[in-house]
Structure 1
Amino acid sequence: MNIPIRKIQRTSASLLLAGFSVFPALAQDDPAPSVAAFDQTLVNWHNLDPVQDQIQGTGVNRAYKELLTNKKPKKTVVVAVIDSGIDITHEDLKGKIWTNQKEIAGNGQDDDQNGYVDDVHGWGFLGNAQGENIRYETYEYVRLLRKLAPTYQNISSIKEVPLAQQPEYKTYLLTKQTYEKELAKYQQTQQTLAAFEKVLIQVQNVLASHLKTKEYTLQDVQRISTPDQNVMNARAWLLEKYSRGLTVESFLKYKEHTDTFLEKHLNLEFNPRAIIADNPESITDTKYGNSDVVGPRPTHGTPVSGLIAGLRGNNLGIDGIAEDVQIMALRAVPEGDERDKDIALAIRYAVDNGANIINMSFGKTFSPQKSFVDEAVKYAESKNVLLVHAAGNEATDNDKVTHYPTRVLNDGSQIKTWIEVGASSRMLGKDLVGVFSNYGKQTVDLFAPGVNIVSLAPENKYAKMDGTSFSSPVVSGVAALVWSHYPELTAAELKEVLLKSATVYPKEMALYPNLESETRKKAKFSDLSSTGGIVNAYNALLLAEKMVKQKNSKS
């Protein structure tokens, strides 16, 4: 079989133009049974100290060694993780999962009368009483477009719309524009991948025929030497792709990722909410969900929880940040956009059932029931709960592009117990800011390790990952560590401690993400968040000690 060289070059060029000559890494790499599978310089780097270790971590190990050796925590801190689900049986979370002592497991009764049956370790807001669960969801703009299109799709001018409905019409236009842009992008990607796959199969067949086996290795391909130019073309093509970081496995994973976007996230006909049978636009319709806190997709909530509470010093897996901590599992984030109602109810559940900190590693670009979330976060603030939120991975300036949920309420006021977190990397220099991380001088408070992070994966495995999703629990973990030793602090004071004690880099220049151009721009790291710093546990504990002494002297 001849493989036209021009076709190979043309397909490769279209892949380059599509932006995935090396296929983009998804949230995390394939899990491994042990952290020994990873570059050991990456394991637990988030705990290292910028001064002693010259790694831009959080100073957690230094804090334990120099400040906490003979100090016992005064309080067990409960951190609610609102996420995709958590593998609560993971070996590195043993003894760290919150248990509702007032509930009797498996008896089908709401023993504590809190409105949730058998909520022993938390609650799943993505399922029904029969145990059916949602894994995939559409994006919020798809849901909005589906709802608004019947009313506005035949209108050609805003002048035709009554004044009271004009804001809704503008939302319709924006969702339609966003949907059409994303749909076109993923359809083009799917077509390019199909063309690439056609060539890939041809190449594989040629090499298999030459090697007389389909089970060949990369080394087998490298050793090929033959006067048959067709075979050598196939060899060169495959080796060039591997040199760019592409493997057959990564290609197939990205192809599946693209298909999922089109079949689930961007599908106007897809409505998984039907299994719950609630009204997502009614905050009083609360009789839904189940006690399954693991769910069909614990791949995101498990590493988040591991960074906060992974067992320290057990020679197993990673070292989490806080020792005297319990993880409350709240499953409310599907693959796709979460519902405002689920998030609002999860926040209220966390507050009412004793959570001190709520970690929120999720976000989206539209929030039609924002008022539900506003009321919930105001309630959390009033109950002295700290809210920690990931800034997002869209490579945008959050000062210009709103990323929901947000501490800014519809009435313009702000939640004072909210921390917004961007993602940073191990080393100083141009790559200090994660290439994907959102930022914002006014809207992002600080950065935390979120690049090349090793944490837990379901089924007693471990994985390497990137994302502000993993920076947020680093801050939640540091907050829990500090609060367990200084429970006298209010949530607002704890936030002040974390922000004022961050490691600052006033002269450090870094490249920051820029969607308007393919090249990243250079800026002072101090201009990308309000503190210009990275969270630091060692400094935070010192400042907390000082603040508590000052409080005590005044009382």
Structure 2
Amino acid sequence: MHKLILSLATIVLSLNISAQELQSKFNWHNLDYEQDGVRGMSVERAYKELLQGRKSETVIVGVIDSGVDIEHEDLKDHIWVNRDEIPDNGIDDDNNGFIDDMNGWDFIGGPDGQDVKQEQLESARLMVKYDQLFGEKPKKRKIKKYKEEYAEYLKIKGEIEEKKQEAAQYLPMYEGLLTNFTSSEDLLKEYLETESLSKEAVEAIKEADADIKIRQAKKYWLYLVDQGASKAAIQEGIDHFKGQLNYNYNPDFNPRAIVGDNPEKLQYAKYGNNEVIGPRAMHGTHVSGIIAADRANEKGVKGVADNVEIMVVRTVPDGDERDKDVANAIRYAADNGAQIVNMSFGKPYSPEKNWVDDAVKYAESKGVLLIAAAGNDNADIDIHRHYPTKFYKDGGEANNWITVGALSYKEGDEMVATFSNYGDESVDVFAPGVAIYSTVPGSKYEEKQGTSMAAPAVTGVAALLKSYFPTLTAGQLKQIILESSDKFNNQQVQLPGGGDTVAFGELSTSAGVVNAYKAVKLAMELTRKQ
């Protein structure tokens, strides 16, 4: 049972917790260790002590994600608007190749307004191709000719079988968990004569006055809640494993017909639609709130950056994004004025990596900084690559790229998130990524965790710097963020996913944790010399 609940944190990566039950201090990722006792990024301190009275310029941030609720109360005033486009007239007024792209573009939408929701994983798509290449009984000559491909084929085949067996095993367990959790909750609500339960109310039930069913329900419910469970989180676990079986690893599932393009051909401005919310905007909305939630409206949460517009580039389905869409999304953001791009997604295979590499180089030529999540597999991505990556297929690496690992609100050897990927060559810096309270669709707010939350925290800092110091280049923004980070080279931390302890400095190139206060100070020094 304990293993099941822990997997909700590492696989589902989204516990739904009310504002009264936050795991750490409200807005902790923006707080300061010296002043607030929690190792956030010192954003509030930077505004209060260094930026008051300074002028800023609006920065456009491209969010390549699942879609964004552009009507959210905390985001609606910080959504990019293409002022060169006349809305809904069916004409490409600004001649950028995209019709009626008022707030961005949807690269996984169809011309009739439909959207891709679920998708296969890249491994499943590769499996289909390899099945066609090798057949059921491949001849030795073909195996010899395609030696590397056949080795990858066998590797992928094994991975998929293992994952499908795991999903088939865990799905009924999660379904049983939800049934029992719901039954316990219903019994306790009836006993307490209430529509909603609180931990305090359940703990206050006097067992001497309750029958055995209520005593058992109390014990069971409190145990699960103490482990971080909720009905919504358990349901997400069910949806996760159902999605794996029905869509992600299903070789016969192919939703690309909705888009109507040829996914094997790199085309730009030839497909998609202008509907940027999509059917599953939860992830992109949460990411956008971390960057840009209104800091002055006294609602919900505070974004890191106070003068920013979010350009929505919908590219990520419930499954693996396609390299074609990622490449085009980066180009779209760069072509339409984004100065910084957040990429909170990833996968272990990238068959058309050269397309993405070319787009990254194009973004660099346009002065665009790309910030990517390191991934949530508690893996060393120096060894097990997580795509997209700053390393080019033909050698070298992007200078306009920051890869971000996730930090916990805990101290000492627990400071690194247990799920975070790491790598002293592949990961550049760490930032808060556990229990991050931010926007979700419907003008609501939730805590979520993942390197998907750590990346936009850094994107927000980059946007803040660019806003107040607009002459800074993408390379200088990267330099400032990494050099000004709090260094913990020799701090012993638990290695994500394992019981070993290692020096924090071995987990990233900078051995650092992002600090906006120090970054602003360094930006002041650098721009004074310009």
Counterparts of 2:393 and 2:407, CA distance in 1: 30
Counterparts of 1:41 and 1:237, CA distance in 2: 24
Residue pair 2:420, 2:451 contacting (<8 A) in 1 also: yes
**Match of 2:484, as an amino acid?**
S
Alignment match, 2:168:
187
Change (3 A) 1:48 1:149: same
Shift of 1:503: 0.9
Matches within 5 A, 1:93-132: 93-132=75-114
Shift of 1:99: 0.9
Change (3 A) 1:120 1:444: same
Within the candidate set 150, 173, 198, 1:169 is matched to 150
Residue pair 1:423, 1:437 contacting (<8 A) in 2 also: yes
1:544 counterpart = 2:526: no
Q: CA RMSD in A?
A: 2.9
Shift of 1:543: 1.1
Change (3 A) 1:475 1:226: closer
**Match of 1:24, as an amino acid?**
L
Give the count of matched residue pairs: 524
1:337 counterpart = 2:320: yes
Counterparts of 1:220 and 1:535, CA distance in 2: 40
1:145 counterpart = 2:127: yes
**Unaligned residue ranges in structure 1 (runs of 5+):** 1-14
Within the candidate set 263, 286, 307, 1:324 is matched to 307
Question: 1:19-46 CA distances to partner (integer Å, 9 max, x unpaired)?
Answer: 31556133333376xxx44439532111
Within the candidate set 393, 415, 429, 1:446 is matched to 429
**Match of 1:187, as an amino acid?**
A
Shift of 1:401: 0.7
Change (3 A) 1:221 1:131: farther
Alignment match, 1:529:
508
SS of alignment partner, residue 379 of structure 2: coil
Question: 1:273-330 CA distances to partner (integer Å, 9 max, x unpaired)?
Answer: 1111211111026421110111111101111111111111322111111122111110
- Once the two structures are aligned, what percentage of the paired residues are identical? 42
**Match of 1:524, as an amino acid?**
A
**Match of 2:4, as an amino acid?**
F
Counterparts of 1:465 and 1:215, CA distance in 2: 25
SS of alignment partner, residue 168 of structure 1: helix
Within the candidate set 423, 428, 441, 1:458 is matched to 441
Counterparts of 1:83 and 1:529, CA distance in 2: 25
Residue pair 2:16, 2:230 contacting (<8 A) in 1 also: no
Residue pair 1:419, 1:495 contacting (<8 A) in 2 also: yes
Shift of 1:54: 2.9
Question: 1:151-204 CA distances to partner (integer Å, 9 max, x unpaired)?
Answer: 2243467x4326552222222222212111111111111244466678779989
Change (3 A) 1:91 1:239: closer
SS of alignment partner, residue 91 of structure 1: coil
1:378 counterpart = 2:364: no
Change (3 A) 1:274 1:234: same
Within the candidate set 3, 13, 19, 1:27 is matched to 13
SS of alignment partner, residue 430 of structure 1: helix
Question: 1:495-528 CA distances to partner (integer Å, 9 max, x unpaired)?
Answer: 11111010112342211213xxxx4321111221
TM-score with structure 2 length normalisation? 0.91
Change (3 A) 1:247 1:416: closer
**Match of 1:110, as an amino acid?**
D
Q: Which piece of structure 1 moves more, 519-528 or 163-172?
A: 163-172
**Match of 2:160, as an amino acid?**
Y
Shift of 1:490: 1.6
Q: Which piece of structure 1 moves more, 314-323 or 218-227?
A: 218-227
Counterparts of 1:439 and 1:327, CA distance in 2: 28
Change (3 A) 1:277 1:53: same
Change (3 A) 1:449 1:221: closer
Change (3 A) 1:226 1:278: same
Alignment match, 1:10:
none
Counterparts of 1:252 and 1:145, CA distance in 2: 29
**Match of 1:314, as an amino acid?**
N
Change (3 A) 1:500 1:268: same
TM-score with structure 1 length normalisation? 0.87
SS of alignment partner, residue 146 of structure 2: helix
Q: Which piece of structure 1 moves more, 453-462 or 250-259?
A: 250-259
SS of alignment partner, residue 527 of structure 2: helix
Matches within 5 A, 1:378-397: 378-397=361-380
Counterparts of 1:481 and 1:123, CA distance in 2: 24
Residue pair 2:22, 2:447 contacting (<8 A) in 1 also: no
SS of alignment partner, residue 78 of structure 1: strand
Shift of 1:242: 5.3
Q: Which piece of structure 1 moves more, 166-175 or 388-397?
A: 166-175
Larger-Rg structure:
1
1:506 counterpart = 2:489: yes
Counterparts of 1:283 and 1:452, CA distance in 2: 38
Residue pair 2:489, 2:506 contacting (<8 A) in 1 also: no
SS of alignment partner, residue 170 of structure 1: helix
